[in-house]
Amino acid sequence: MAIDNNQGSAPVFNQFASDNYAGICPEAWRAMDEANAGFASSYGDDAWTERACSCIRDVFETDCQVFFVFNGTAANSLALAALCRSYHSVLCHDLAHVETDECGAPEFFSNGTKILHIPGLNGKLDLDAVEHAITRRSDIHYPKPRVLSLTQSTELGTVYTPDEIGAATVLARRHGLRVQMDGARFANAVAALGVSPAETSWKAGVDVLCLGGAKNGMALGEAVVFFNRELADEFEYRCKQAGQLASKMRFISAPWIGMLENGTWLRNAAHANRMAQMLADELVQTPAVRLISPCQANAVFVEMPAATVAALRAAGWHFYSFIGTGGARFMCSWQTTEEDVRALIQAVRLACRT
């Protein structure tokens, strides 16, 4: 099945592998192009970076402190390192990116802070299990729990409501823990919930948010947003030491202006969510296909017969299948079209018959 999901003369690439397979959205591209006019000061001491920080403060309706880094692994691991000492521990979900996909960077940048993982349905933390992990030991031999890390939207494509975040942060605070949020897909959660960005972050008790740009439509770049400004003390040194201080910072910061000033970030996210919903609605009507977790953001997780997965791959479709042998993750982005979704649905139905 050949579909043209790319602009211009790009080769056909049938993929629902990740939202980071998408290109740069026009608004981010334009902002980068505008920032390319002439000279500007380096290392973030420029007008674009200042404006991008103001955009983030406006969007979150608070005087937060903002840092721009190259990617999500840096954002998460440096933020966690800022909240911990080496003998502390970070509690996160079993499937959390910081645990499974950062090659130990949080432990590395914090000089040994231990990640403790917690179970929970549909990618969300089970708060009883969180409390158990915090309280089961208080002796000097156990790495002292210091941070609760939540992913919004989650690694299984679900979304925490503001109340659920509030319950988690109240529990954390009761035990003296700080709260970090991995928001690689925060935009998708906000778009899905229809609440303000503030309500699903600092108003619900989050201290630090790692706000994703790449999967939302930028080339690269994530923002580390400290709502609790005290925790940002000397964070610029961490960024520099980790090789995360861009000398031509304006090209990381300016695209944020293009994303945030006119609501592109939420439009992109809402579009991706809508594509995923359309896909999920159709796939559940296919007898051999079962949803693994509810589709609440821009991902669809399904279980299919292994032969169906193999037939889809043989037909040239790209997707991840890291949840068991018959499991598949289909991820939508700002660039996914309805035609792409229809083509995949047709390909799945065809593959089911093989």
Task: Give the residue with the Cβ less far from ligand PLP, 103 or 307.
Answer: 103
Task: Give the residue with the Cβ less far from ligand PLP, 108 or 142.
Answer: 108
Please write down the HEC assignment for all residues of the chain.
CCCCCCCCCCCCCCECCCHHHCCCCHHHHHHHHHCCCCCCCCCCCCHHHHHHHHHHHHHHCCCCEEEEECCHHHHHHHHHHHHCCCCEEEEEECCCHHHHCCCCHHHHHCCCCEEEEECCHHHCCCHHHHHHHHHCCCCCCCCEEEEEEEECCCCCCCCCCHHHHHHHHHHHHHCCCEEEEEECCHHHHHHHHCCCCCCCCHHHCCCEEEEECHHHCCCCCEEEEECCHHHHCCHHHHHHHCCCCCCCCHHHHHHHHHHHCCCHHHHHHHHHHHHHHHHHHHHCCCCCCEECCCCCCCEEEEECCHHHHHHHHHCCCECECCCCCCEEEEECCCCCCHHHHHHHHHHHHHHHCC
- As measured in angstroms, the least distance from the Cβ of 273 to ligand PLP is 15
As beta bridge partners, residue 14 has none
Residues making contact with ligand PLP (CB under 6 A): 71-73, 76, 97, 151, 155, 182, 184, 214-215
Task: Give the residue with the Cβ less far from ligand PLP, 89 or 154.
Answer: 154
- As measured in angstroms, the least distance from the Cβ of 221 to ligand PLP is 9
Task: Give the residue with the Cβ less far from ligand PLP, 169 or 180.
Answer: 180
- As measured in angstroms, the least distance from the Cβ of 200 to ligand PLP is 15
Task: Give the residue with the Cβ less far from ligand PLP, 95 or 270.
Answer: 95
Task: Give the residue with the Cβ less far from ligand PLP, 95 or 351.
Answer: 95
- As measured in angstroms, the least distance from the Cβ of 335 to ligand PLP is 16
- As measured in angstroms, the least distance from the Cβ of 134 to ligand PLP is 23
Task: Give the residue with the Cβ less far from ligand PLP, 119 or 176.
Answer: 119
- As measured in angstroms, the least distance from the Cβ of 326 to ligand PLP is 22
